[in-house]
Amino acid sequence: MARDYPIEKVRNFGIIAHIDAGKTTTSERILFYTGSQHKIGEVHEGETTTDWMEQERERGITITAAAITCFWTPTRETDKKDTSKKYRFNIIDTPGHIDFTVEVKRSLVVLDGAVVVFDGVAGVEPQSETNWRYADEGKVPRVCLINKLDRTGASFERSYKSILDRLTKKAVRMQIPIGEEGEHNGAIDLLTMQAVYFEGEMGKEVRYTNEIPENLKADAAKYRGELIERIVEQDEKLTADYLEGKEPSIEVLKATLRKAVIANEIVPVFCGSALKNKGVQLVLDAVVEYLPSPIDLPPKTGIDPNTGSAIERHPADDEPFSALAFKLQTDPFVGALTFFRVYSGTISAGSYIYNSSTGTKERLGRIVRLQADKREEVKDVYAGEIAAAVGLKDAKTSHTLCSEDKPIVLEEIKFPEPVVSMRIEPKTKADQEKMGLALKKLQDEDPTFRVSADTETGETIIQGMGELHLEILVDRMKREFSVEATTGKPQVAYRETIQKMAEANHKYIKQTGGRGQYGHVALRIKPLEPVVEGKKIASNVEREDHFEFINSIKGGVIPQEYIPAVQKGVKEAMERGISAGYKMEDISVEVFDGSYHDVDSSEIAFKIAAIQAFKEAAALAKPVILEPIMKVEVVTPEQFMGDVTGTITSKRGAIESMEERGMAKVINATVPLSEMFGYTTQLRSMTEGRASWTMEFDHYEVVPSNVAEAIKESRK
């Protein structure tokens, strides 16, 4: 069966935004204008975290939010019924809350472009910065929409300036709004110098006119000049022509701008109000005109699992099949769904796929595509498309699916480490078995959610990105898996490290009649230095995230076969910590000497010797406890400013900047996570419920000695 849409007419993009920028409304309008009468949940004005959680809990929405396929004919096309003019959109809608940042991160890996939505009153907010950073890491081309320009206090120029100041100097206006706040009526397209109005039911009719309102003519001409200059800068010949007074045609300008957007040299900025049905269609036109199709991007690189060499896969149907699983979801109707993005080749329902991450084969039963309000079963999926497989058992997030005869392992998605932990126990014996199963399913779905057992107490510990994250997961356990559980207080995931170099050696000798045990290890440990770009790692060095192991054994003083046992012992010791029992990280460990016994040496003896040697060395290496420091933003009316800053300072916080946003004040600070539990209630009572705040993980920092002592006491 041939593909129904040419690959150059496919756009895979995501909608990303801060929690209150109107992303849900924008997504819902997109579905409406692309011909799906479907609504994604309710539209909330000033959507609060709790509304959003309630909405998240209505499971249909999460499913819909995974990946929606819809179709779009650009607004300037006169024959809307001509299917050859249509484009296929695969849209991934991502949550806005920081605790679910993993959703944004994993989505950006499989997307070719992104629409970033900003609140026209608030401009750039902390979560916008994090998402932008993720998009930068993935080199994802993007277009911006400054939304909510109908709100009191909205300002396109101020929001645009916040993008330039805080995100990128590459942003450029494609439009300016016709009126703001209650006067917001439409937009001026700076490229064609036309005014655009949105009329009819839900603003469905887009009307272009050459008559620009008198009061905006000067601004439009000025900003158009800036836009043209930015575009022609991208091409030497165009620059030369432009300096001679020749302006390129609209077609040439658009083609040049498209290249620049795909190369991440220009970020076009649009304006509108999704709630008032203005501007969304022009953003969809921009997706067609400026965001890449799968063939506009460089080929996908990966590793050949057989040879370890780098290989490429091009976005073509006749290439060997390769795909990345990026999301797992439990659907109440069809069971386990594995969402995957096909980078090359095609796959048919009923065929076998090879999971090169695990080395296993599975039969691909059914394939579904989510089309807004219905699931469409499909027989084949082609290069550049996104779909979901039903009932795969082994595939997890970030596994590579490919053809067995031409295997490839694509780069794994890296996820942030969880920073909050909580004890959880089932209420009854019946809940106990169900809880294990539920936790496993939730852990498969969400790579930032970890489950472990406390070996000393036998309790189950769950870890996540924040209080809300764990709260929702426990709530989902109750609703979806009918597991009743009690939870302890949220705890901070502290870490431990060392601050100087130290050495120790340990002989483990045990003689108990018959064969004894003998292992002797000398270790040198020091703080881990960051990797220098381009510097080759020596062959005797094994490097992982936050850990390095160096084998400097010469002349076989420890036989090669015992070195893995030494490494295992060191890792085990690091898991248990030295100061307060927290995991240690950012340590370089070198095994440089030791001895062995022909008869009595064994792997277990070397492992125990390594554990003891590491503990002794770590105790001499100035061990410290690290705590997660959060980036906090509080938006408050001016009269509560003093109280809010005072509280932040009393929580060991450092205020980094203060600014105005409309009528409110914005305080940016860094505060230790341990001080932020229960802050919502405190802030509400302090500001009569009028302030709001968000926080996200920033970095780990050494805790002050008095706090370290308290932590150690609590762990005894």
Q: Which residue type occupies 169?
A: K
Same domain, yes or no: 536 and 390: no
> What residue has token string 């000798």?
509
In the predicted model, what is the mean pLDDT of residues 374-398? 83
User: Is residue 416 domain-resident?
Assistant: no
Query: Across residues 532-560, what is the average pLDDT?
Result: 81
Question: Mean pLDDT across the chain, nearest whole number?
Answer: 83
Among the candidates 621, 645, 664, a domain finishes at 621
Among the listed ranges 115-124, 322-331, 369-378, 551-560, which one has the minimum average pLDDT value?
A: 369-378
Q: Are residues 216 and 285 in the same domain?
A: yes
Of 56-65, 181-190, 562-571, least confident by mean pLDDT is 56-65
Say yes or no: 478 and 399 in one domain.
Answer: no
User: Average pLDDT for residues 66-85, to the nearest whole number?
Assistant: 74
418 assigned to some structural domain: no
Task: State the Cα–Cα distance between residues 280 and 538, nearest whole angstrom.
Answer: 53
- pLDDT number for residue 571: 92
Are residue 592 and residue 651 in the same domain, yes or no? no
CATH number at 476 reads 3.30.70.870
> Is residue 335 over pLDDT 50?
yes
The answer to whether residue 1 sits within a structural domain is: no
Of 262, 172, 293, the closest CA to residue 222 belongs to 172
Domain assignment present for residue 19? The answer is yes
Same domain, residue pair 504 and 586: yes
Nearest one of 569, 435, 466 to 508, comparing CA atoms:
569
What pLDDT, on a 0 to 100 scale, did the predictor assign at position 51?
Answer: 33
CATH of the domain at 654: 3.30.70.240
| Cα–chain center distance at 245 | 45
69-86: average pLDDT: 76
Q: Is residue 69 part of a domain?
A: yes
Assign 333 a pLDDT band (cuts: 50, 70, 90).
low
Of the pLDDT bands very low, low, confident and very high (cuts 50, 70, 90), residue 78 is: low
Cα of first residue to Cα of last residue in the chain, in angstroms, is 66
- 153 and 276 share a domain? yes
For residues 305 and 243, what is the distance between their CA atoms, to the nearest angstrom? 53
In a domain, 38, yes or no: yes
Residue 400, domain CATH: 2.40.30.10
The single-letter DSSP state of residue 382 is: -
Single out the residue in 491, 512, 546 at which a domain terminates. 491
User: What are residue 210's DSSP bridge partners?
Assistant: none
User: HSE (CB half, 13 Å, CA atoms) of 139?
Assistant: 8
Say whether both 405 and 277 belong to one domain.
Answer: no
Report which of 626, 589, 610 is spatially closest to residue 702, judged by C-alpha positions: 626
| 637 and 612 in a common domain | no
Give the mean pLDDT of 314-334.
Answer: 82
CATH number of 569's domain: 3.30.230.10
Among 571, 593, 621, where does a domain finish? 621
Same domain, 398 and 314: yes
Report the candidate in 49, 128, 20, 197 with the shortest Cα–Cα distance to residue 680.
49
Q: Residues 478, 549: one domain? A: no
Of the ranges 61-75, 242-256, 330-344, 534-548, which one carries the lowest mean pLDDT score? 61-75
**558 lies in some domain:** yes
Number of structural domains, the chain? 5
Band (pLDDT 50/70/90 cuts) for residue 60 is very low
Secondary structure (DSSP) of 472-513: HHHHHHHHHH---EEE---EE--EEEESS-EEEEEEEEE--S
* Position 228 in a domain: yes
Edge to edge, the sheet with strand 547-551 lists 502-510, 517-527, 587-595, 547-551, 541-544
Q: What own/partner pairs with CB < 8 Å and gap ≥ 24 does 637-641 have?
A: 637/663, 637/664, 637/665, 637/687, 637/690, 637/691, 638/663, 638/664, 638/665, 640/686, 640/687, 640/688, 640/690, 640/691, 641/665, 641/667
Yes or no: say if 355 and 412 are a contact pair by the CB < 8 Å rule: no
Structural domain of residue 451, as residue ranges?
Answer: 424-491
Residues 146 and 190 in one domain: yes
pLDDT at res. 36: 58
Q: Are residues 24 and 93 in the same domain?
A: yes
Q: What pLDDT, in 10s, does the model give residues 636-657?
A: 888 899 999 999 999 999 999 9
